[in-house]
Every structure is written in structure tokens, then in C-alpha cells.
Structure 1
Amino acid sequence: MIDELCIIGHPSRLGGADTELDHQIYCWQAMGVEVHICPSGPLDDNQKAMQMEKRGCIYHEANDWASLEGMHCISFCNGQFLKHVESIKRYARTTTFVNCMSWNFDKEVEGQSKGFLDFHLYQTQHSFDKVSRKLKGHGTYRPLYFIPYFHAEDFPYIDDRLQDKFRFGRISRDDGDKFHSRQLWIYETMTSPLVKQGLILGWGPSVEKKFDRLPESYISVLPPGAISQRAFYAQCEAIIMSTDTFENLPRVGFEAMASGSILIVDNRGGWKLEVEDGVTGWLCNDEREFVYKASRCAFEQEERNRMRLAALKKLQKEWGLQPAMDSWARIFGQWKNFAC
């Protein structure tokens, strides 16, 4: 075990990697690790509002690399960490980069080739398979795997939703690639015994440019962050989302599973780890399968209820505190041995 570590960057409640970092802090502190934060730039209002010092985190001045002397430093998909990793490496005991994507940052490859990155962390085999190709053969490459902790307390389970309509939605940032080109067609084609009511959280100029139109009137669109994630899931019986991207291990999936919203998602990437088709949600190979399974979800209330409970149990078993602590303990052991 280690006594302390320092985050380069800052957690957030917006964005996958920053949200994931927020949850890992709960896990590290539960293990007795003192968590330091060295921001890589000015904090925005969302980051300030988190008041991490009240959770026991110790702040360093932004970009004060000298203050990292002798510390294990970790960063989750932070470009500024990669930009300054040579300077950070002068002081840090170890440097670790967590790539939550399915592609490489140019500076990530450069940092590895120059020996500035000691460890690379991955959540999934499919992410490693994609990201490791450009890193192997550049110095000593030390990939490690961890089981991410999901802090389900932030997303209370809801089992008393209104049943007068079939309410569905999707959530992401304003990125056209996060939306499959047939996403609106799926919503408009699927059927329901009740009136359909949709909610898209994350609609903005990029998404509207992709579709060149607004959805039908029964689907409301809101910009990113217009309502809380908790409020979003409370309104959605089902999360029906198809993307043009390859998802690593989507936090949206964990949030939906904790909240009791049924997942109807792509049969690829991290969705396949989160969803057992027909048991904890539905996986779809194409837009027509989306229409069929979304329609089935709308009609079969008892099946929905079985699925949402099965999904919650899967989340607690596979991404709860104990499995995450066990995996981080192995990583901390590697850090400690490397630095001896």
C-alpha cells in the first residue's frame, strides 16, 4: 500500500473521465490513502463547487510541479498532464496516465517514447487492445488494469416512476459523433402502448448540425448540464442511445444501472461488459434491432422491472467498493515496488 498520491488535474461532475476520477477518490480515501490535487489550470465553477477540501483532499497550487517531490502522480485523460509530464517527472516518484479513450493522444505516445510515463492504466481489454499498439516498443511499457469504483450513492435507485407515458432519453456532451445518424429515426419509429415522451440532455450546435433539424415535438432537447444527471435519470424509464463512437466503459451505463433506467445500447465496446442482453438491458446490432427492443421495453413492464433489479445487482457486484479496492491495492503495490 501507499500513504498518499497526487492527482494532476481536477475531478468534475461533468465529463466521463473527470466524473470517474471523482468516484475513484472515494475509493482511495476508503483505503486510507491521502489524496492531493494539483490542478493543471484555473478551476471552473463546476470544479470549485465540488469543494474537494471538505472531502479531505489537499490542494496544491496549479502547475506547482516542484510541490510533487516524491509523490505518486496520476492523471485521468488530462492533456495538460501530458503536455507538462517531462517537468512533472523531474519531481514525481512515479507518473501514471489513465487513458479512458479508445485512441491515443500524440503527447501520450511522445511521453512514453521519452520515458516520462511510468505506468498506463486501463479499465478494459478492448481499450488496451486499441490504445497499446502505438505504445509498445517505445521504452519500457507498463500497462496495468483496474476495476473502477462507481459511487452509486450519487444516483439513488428509483422504482416509483410515473407510468402514464413511456419516458425515454439519452445523455452525452454536445458532440455529433456521440449520436448515431439514425438516432432520431429510432425514436420516431419505435412503438409504445402509451404516449411516448423523450428527453435528450446534451443537445447543442454540434448535434443539431449533424441532424439539421430538431426531433419531433414529443422529444425535449436540453443543452449539456441544463438539469442534473440525477434529475435526468428520474425522468427516463429507458436510456436508448446509439453512437458513432466506440465506448470504453461508459459512465452513463453505470449511472442508469444505479438509477433503475433500462439500457438499450450498442452491442459493442464497454456496453457489452455492462449489459447482459435480455437480462440487465438490451444490446442492439443495428437501428432496426433498436426499434424492436425499444418497443418491447415500452410494452413489457414486468420485464423492465426484472431487468432494472438485475442491472443494479450486477453493478453492485462488479463495480462496487470491494472489487475496486482490491484492484487499486495491486496497482499501489506496483507503484511502491517500482519506486523502491
Structure 2
Amino acid sequence: MKILLVNKYHYVKGGSETYYFGLADLLTKLGHEVIYFSMADINNKPCEQEKYFVSNVDFNSNISTLQKVKAGFRVLYSFEAKKNISALIEQEHPDIVHINLVHRHITLSIVRAIKKYNIPIVFTIHDLNCVCPNHEMLVNGHVCEKCLHGRYSNCIKNKCVKGSTAKSTLAAIEAINYKRMKIYDDIDLYITPSYFYKKKLEESGIIHSEIIHIKNFLPTDTVYSDNNPDNGYLLYFGRISEEKGVLTLVKAVEKLENNIPLIILGTGPIEDEIKEYIKAHNLGNRIKALGFKSGDELKKYVAEAKCVILPSEWYENGPYTIMEAMSQGKPVIVTNYGGLPEIVEDGKTGFICSPFDSDDLKNSIKKVCSLSDAEYKAMSSCAVEKAKIEFSPVTYAQKLTQKYNEIINNHKKKG
């Protein structure tokens, strides 16, 4: 079959793009044809469909007042995206459209365009944008569910989008508009990487189509190993932002008596704050913030760590950070938030601690450090075996293509 994959970024920016390109590779290897629809960007991977991509807009850049007004209207509804995807569909005639991240830049205006052609739509939920205007369910560093049941005025009142009344108002209007249009009902199937997200979508009452939970998959070329060395350092890699709990991690390591080193890899909005804390508390010999790493260099850091830590303080979905660490036989420490407890078995593949609690996180780190060689090896092997089974691309492809065929056949019957 021919599958049209949609995502606002056509280069690897985060977990959703890891999924987007991984899915394309997986489907192509199974003999399907994959085409793309995205946003133009100088960082994009080459693509035959790029002439149909929507124009780029960066809502965080310094742009003129007129450009801000145009960008604001585009948040609500993109006529360009609707027009361009219609042209692409008429040229390529896909059997099914699979949407990923589209809010703000591409917008769900494309849904109505796709429905004109009676093409089924699948939507993988990578964030909480469908039920929360700021997509994170966070206000001032704390989880907030006030908009979950459609009370979007809370977004404006609390300035939930980057502390801006204007941006929060646009986000709230977007949410109200989609709800009024019942646009989510035009999507045939929703896929959530975590069962937690599935429950949140159901609880919201905004979605009436089928919602299924399938855990994310690891790339087909993943090399699994429980024989990697333990070079005695803790590792955090990913976005350095408040909701990731990086500062809580630094404080936990500061409290440890064993002086085990911590390596932090990545960039983000609180990167300078983290570095200043490390310097102010004389932790430079123990904690190293080494910036962004990727490819083989990042894989080496993961493979040689004692433990990988993701101390998130928001509702994580199905983070690749933990999946990749487990594939390399690394014990993992996560917080009891969102979909994280669904991935990690406490005491078997790692440890689960409370969010915002540096003491509890410290104790989880001490548990890893106190494992005997035999216990560490057992945990490592358990992590790898769990990764092979639960993050299998083959299993994912079987489940997904089965649903694809089911939905396509249903559309054919309806005519």
C-alpha cells in the first residue's frame, strides 16, 4: 500500500521524528511505498514531495507585527496546508494518511482536505496537544489538567503558552475551534505509545474514534547488547528543560556520598541555569554538561554508562531515551509519571522514584550503585530482553498494518 506520513519537521528534532523516520524505514522494508508531507526547512532530509511542503514559520523568532498576525491566523487554520496536501493527494493517491505532529505549523486543516478523498486517517499521539492547548499539561513547572475537559479559558488565564497572553489566547482559540468543528471525529484511529495517554484522551471526552495503545518501537538496525562495559558514570541525555527534572537530578547527585560522576548531554532552555548551579556549588569535578551529542558518539556514552536517568516532572509518553538505554543493557531510573512506569519494571530493569524529590532520586541511584556484579548483570539482561520483546519493530509493523488494512477496508465498504 501507499502511506502518506505527515509531520511538521522532516529532520530529526526529537522523539516524534525518530518515530516518523523509523516508521518510514520499517514500512519501506516491508514493501510498502511511503511518501511525505511536512514543513519546508533548510535542515530537511531530501524528499521527492518537498515541493508540496508548507512554508516555514518560526513562532519564536523575531518577526514583524504583520508576520506575527499572519502566523497567528495560521495557527488556527492553514489554507496553504489544505491546498498543498490536496495537490499531493491528487498526484500520489495514497491509500492511507498517518499523521504525527501537526498542530500550530501544519494544523488539522489537512484533515478536512483528506476526508474529501475518502482516505482513512491514523494519528499517532506524541504529545497532549489534543487535550491541552500548551501540549504539556504544565503550568509554572507543575502538572495541570484544568483544560482536560474543554475549559480552555484556563490557558489564557494562566498564560500557559510561553508566559504569553497572545500565544495562550491563540492556542485556546485553536482548541475551541477544533472542538467546535468536531475535527477529531474525522480521524479514524488514534495510536498512543503509552496507556496513560490513551486514558487521558478517553477521559477528555473530545475524541470518539477508536484509540489503541501500542508501545513505540526501536529502529530495525538496533544492536541489542547486555555485554557493554560499566564505566561508572550516570547519564542523562535529552532536552535540558524544566519539565525533564534535570535540576532535581543535579541536586540528587550533589547529595550522594560516593562521588559517582554524572554526565549530562543535550541542550535546552535551562542549560545555562544548570551550568551555573554546577559552578556555584563546586560540582564541576563530578558533573559534566557536555552539550548536544548524536550518532555513534551518543551511542557510546549510552553503552558505557552505569545507569541512564530520566527524572521527568511531566507526563512523559513513550520516550526513546529509556528504550535505547534498555536495548544496551543499562539499568534505568525514571519517575512515577505518565507512561514511564509502563516501560520500567521497578527492581528488575531499573528503579522508579517520585518526581520533584531529589532525596528519593538519590536513593534510587544508591540502589543501582549497591548492586553486586551478578545483580547488575541480571538487571542488564532483563532490560535487553524486555526491549527486544516490547519495542520490537516486527511486532509493531504487524499490529499497525493490520489496523491499516482494517480501516481501508471499512472505507471501501462505506464507498
TM-score by structure 2 length? Answer: 0.69
Q: Matches of 1:323 and 1:203 in 2, distance apart?
A: 33
Distance 1:146 1:160, change over 3 A: closer
Report what 1:188 is aligned to.
254
2:121 aligned to 95, 105, 108, which one? Answer: 95
Report what 2:261 is aligned to.
197
The structure where strand makes up a greater share of residues is 1
Query: What displacement does 1:252 show?
Result: 0.8
Q: Matches of 1:91 and 1:67 in 2, distance apart?
A: 12
Say whether 1:241 aligns with 2:310. yes
Which runs of structure 2 are paired with 1:90-129 in the superposition (5 Å)? 90-91=116-117, 93-104=119-130, 106=133, 107=174, 110=178, 113-114=182-183, 115-129=185-199
Higher relative contact order (CA 8 A, sep 6+): 1
Distance 1:152 1:332, change over 3 A: closer
Distance 1:319 1:160, change over 3 A: closer
Report what 1:294 is aligned to.
365
Distance 1:133 1:77, change over 3 A: farther
1:73/1:92 contact within 8 Å kept: no
Report what 1:77 is aligned to.
101
Report what 1:316 is aligned to.
388
Report what 2:219 is aligned to.
151
Q: Matches of 1:117 and 1:11 in 2, distance apart?
A: 22
Distance 1:12 1:92, change over 3 A: farther
Show structure 2 runs of 5+ residues with no match: 55-83, 134-173
How many pairs are equivalent? 323
Distance 1:18 1:226, change over 3 A: closer
SS in structure 1 at match of 2:235: strand
Larger radius of gyration: 2
Query: What displacement does 1:158 show?
Result: 6.4
Q: Matches of 2:220 and 2:359 in 1, distance apart?
A: 32
Distance 1:209 1:156, change over 3 A: same
Query: What displacement does 1:92 show?
Result: 6.4
SS in structure 1 at match of 2:277: coil
Deviations 1:115-169 (A, max 9, x none): 5433322222210111333453x6x523233343212634653634254xx2111
2:305/2:330 contact within 8 Å kept: yes
Say whether 1:68 aligns with 2:89. yes
Query: What displacement does 1:328 show?
Result: 0.6
2:4/2:34 contact within 8 Å kept: yes
Identity %: 16
Show structure 1 runs of 5+ residues with no match: none
1:142 aligned to 210, 213, 225, which one? Answer: 210
Distance 1:102 1:168, change over 3 A: same
Query: What displacement does 1:276 show?
Result: 1.0
Report what 1:6 is aligned to.
4
Which runs of structure 2 are paired with 1:166-245 in the superposition (5 Å)? 166-179=232-245, 181-192=247-258, 196-209=260-273, 213-214=277-278, 216-217=283-284, 218-225=286-293, 228-245=297-314
2:341 aligned to 272, 281, 303, which one? Answer: 272
Distance 1:222 1:283, change over 3 A: same
Distance 1:275 1:281, change over 3 A: same
1:152/1:258 contact within 8 Å kept: no
Distance 1:4 1:180, change over 3 A: same
Report what 1:131 is aligned to.
201
Distance 1:188 1:180, change over 3 A: same
Residue type of the partner of 1:118?
A: D
Q: Matches of 1:202 and 1:236 in 2, distance apart?
A: 16
